[in-house]
Copies of this chain bind each other. A is one copy, B any other.
Amino acid sequence: MSKNIVVVYHSGYGHTRRVAEAVARGAQAALLPIDEHGNLPAAGWDAIAEARAVIFGSPTYLANVSWQFKRFIDASSAVWAKQGWKNKLAAGFTNSAGINGDKLMTLQTLVAMAQQHGMLWAGTGMMPSNVKASGREDLNYLASFTGLMTATPADAGVDEMHPGDLRTAEAFGARIANIVHTQLSAQEDTCLTC
């Protein structure tokens, strides 16, 4: 009857970690970091197995998830073969330097992976801040829907990330928690043929 939420992420330089922390704060979720070699400890796999919702996060490097995150995806093929994550809720986020920078491609990768796992998908559910008066400090100024996007200049340190992006990240986490608590049944169906 768990309604646990976990955030599984890889961060190369600390920016994506900071986004992950904001998302986890909003979702009241546990953080499960993938290491620099692309490994997730066994306890992390166990925590995913117990969770109702899994939020995936990766930097966007050259138009897709980092190789470390992809290694995690490839390692999930053992779970895939048993459809162990079936009907869990999935969501995703990504950070990169450019305002666009093909971040949608990363989110599409996360969607497709989740669909192979038979998971449900939820996006930001946020209207964009897209009028003349909108600014970098507004919620969803990056105008993303399939998942959360944040952008951090290539020369910005971890402590120089846009506060608006981090607030959006926290709101995104809260959105996923809201879905888990108001839209979903307590337990995913474990019927593999359904």
List residues of chain B with CB within 8 A of the CB of A144: 100, 102
Question: A123-B115, A153-B134, A160-B132 are known contacts. Are A143 and B98 too (CB-CB below 8 A)?
Answer: yes
Please give me the residue from chain B that is nearest to A194 by CB atom: B178
Task: Report the bound CA distance from A68 to B68 in whole Å.
Answer: 9
Q: Is A125 an interface residue (CB 8 A)?
A: yes
Smallest CB separation, A140 vs chain B (Å): 8
Interface residue tally on A, bucketed by range: 35 or more
Contact A76 B62 (CB under 8 A): yes
Contact B108 A105 (CB under 8 A): yes
Q: Is A43 an interface residue (CB 8 A)?
A: no
Question: A67-B71, A74-B61, A115-B146 are known contacts. Are A97 and B189 too (CB-CB below 8 A)?
Answer: no
